[in-house]
Amino acid sequence: MVKNRMTAHSPATVGKNLAAFCCCNALAAILAMIICFKVCGIEADVWGLLFSVTAACGHFALIAMLLFVLLALARLCGARIAKVVAVTAGSLLLTTLALDVFVFVYYRTHLNPALLGLFLSPAGSELVPLNITMWLVLVGVPAAIVALEIACVKLAPRCRRKPLLLFIAFSVGCVPAYNLIFIFAKHYGYAPVLTRAEAIPYLQVLSAGKLLRKLGVTGNEQSARRQVSGRLKYPLAPLTYDAAPPKPNILIILLDAWRPDAFNEETMPRLYRRARNAVVFDQHYSGGNATRCGVFSFFYGIPATYWHSFLAANQEPVLMDAMARHGYEAAIFASSNLTSPEFNRTVFAGVNNLRLTSRGHSAVARDLDAQNGFLDFLAGRNRATPFFGFLFYDALHSYALPEGGERPFPTDLQVINYFALTNDTDPGPIVNLYKNSAWHLDAQLDQVFAALEQRQLLDNTIVIVSGDHAQEINDSRTNSWGHNINFSKYETQTPLLVFWPGRQPARYAHRTTHLDVAPTLMKQALGCRNPAADFSTGLDLFDPSERPYVIMASYAKTAIMVGDEVFVLDKYGLNQGWDLAYSRPAANLPPKVLKSALMEMRQFYE
């Protein structure tokens, strides 16, 4: 009896029992993910299934290891305390996972502190109506999980050592396996893997796209264009068009990091004079504070929070699809590389023979190469078909000037040392460097308008000029220099000029956003008969109706702009509100607004 008792309490036996309990929790978590995949309708082929198995096993095995460490420390305080900690910790873990699965299925986002706080607050009923069924679920699921944890504690000593070791070895081996699969899936744009990776809560995966490109590993276009059924529902209904839409030429010109205060007669005199014949929107905001988010929201007319899902599905916007259906010839010329961010697999996924790069060792040189490419296109295009042109300039983002170029705004600054910038740095020289860059870019833009005039194209070409986002030069006095830092107006508000044949010049003061551009073109230029809500969350640009809120995004955060305040949710769901100048804290985000925004961010999922 003494020998058996000593064996039962030996470190090896205790460790085996703790490991068995943790493995049982890992298996329960894997089952929850299978339910999530099934309910969300996320399909997968062999590679998708292989990734699902390895990622679920490896990811939850890592979490189980943390649970093992916690229980091992608790065991030092006695077996009884360790059992209480095991049931409590395991129940919290699985209950949180169950709630995350519910949130992901319902909102297509993972559980975070902001959502959890709202669910538990009196305002939680505004997010999820609590009927009798929901109450039964809220009470029954945690109770069932506690019962499961108690059963796991009792059954753990009965687990055999060899199967347990095999499961642990397999799960640990899955960690490098699923990372390797994901690295190549992301490089090739392989949707069955990418969509499943997004569904697994808080999964951290490696990426090696730059290394693969350096090694000469190129993507497979056929694989890159595979669609995923059961994931996206975009558009919400088949689109129909007028029998004979007007088919004007459409030219979109985006200036990377364009500030509103750079659009004036002093800094950009040529464009400012031409804008007398345009419709100017004075309160226009991007869909984000970074290039990926700004361009995505501009072309899709939906929040950039959808980026990863659309990238995984290689889904082009309906705007580009509509122009292709109407026989438009595409002329895409960007100064920066269209593979980073992956606009070749999103916005321009359907464009054949897409030009991915521009030549040049500086932003100015690449801008000129892109512009010359477009001007050559105008000279040699088929005049019997309409064209869609896209020009994307990078000089402002880089504060770049032509070598030896004139500096009408005095500054000795040549390059910006961001490491030396502090909140006390004088922004004047940087502002003037930016203005000089804008002044030179203005001359380049004038060449494009002159070429359109020379070919008598302005009478049947819609020209839209805007920025992908803005550029802060510490305007908020928060030591912010650039963009993708905060969601102040200094990083998100950008000019919008629309030259529309037949429309009278005007200036509009109502708030507009990048989300409004696509539905405007779809309805008024391409003859789409569907309501805009079938493919966009934006409104018509010319509709002065108040936008109750605007969703904006960065690479890691989401913001909801309500009136003159903006509320920021980071990847952990932490909620912080500011006024648009980031000069004072804001009140709490209204739950009804959050609920509406969350629904908007899942509107185009099955």
pLDDT mean for each 10 residues of the chain (606 residues): 50 83 90 79 77 89 90 87 90 88 73 64 53 69 90 87 88 91 81 79 77 60 38 92 91 97 97 97 97 97 93 93 96 94 94 94 95 96 94 95 91 85 92 96 97 96 98 93 92 98 96 98 96 97 94 90 89 74 86 86 88
- Give the model's pLDDT for residue 213: 64
Alpha-carbon gap, residue 481 to 490, rounded angstroms: 10
Task: State the pLDDT at residue 224.
Answer: 37
pLDDT of residue 194: 79
**545 CB neighbour count, 10 Å cutoff:** 9
Number of C-beta neighbours around residue 451 at 10 A: 15
Residues 6 or more apart whose CB falls under 8 angstroms from that of 183 comprise 205, 206, 207, 208, 209, 212
Chain CA centroid to CA 324, Å: 25
- 327: alpha, beta or left, given left = phi > 0 and alpha = psi -120 to 50? left
Task: Give the torsion sign (CA, 181, 186, 188, 189).
Answer: positive
What is the token pair recorded at 380? Answer: 């040699």
CA dist., res. 338 & res. 256, Å (int): 13
The tokens for 279 are 């419709």
Q: Which among 298, 20, 373 is positioned nearest to 165, based on CA atoms?
A: 20
- Helices (H), ranges, 200-354: 209-214, 221-224, 269-274, 291-300, 307-313, 318-325
Q: Which of 82, 65, 64 is nearest to 73 (CA)?
A: 82
Asked whether 551 and 526 are in contact (CB, 8 A), the reply is no
Question: CB neighbours (10 Å) of residue 464?
Answer: 21
CB within 8 A of 171, min separation 6: which ones? 23, 26, 57, 58, 60, 61, 64
Domains, the chain, with CATH or none: 9-223 (no CATH), 249-543 (3.40.720.10)
Provide the token pair at 160: 């055999």
3-state SS assignment for residue 319: helix
- Per the listing, tokens 């963009």 go with 483
How high is the pLDDT of residue 238?
A: 96
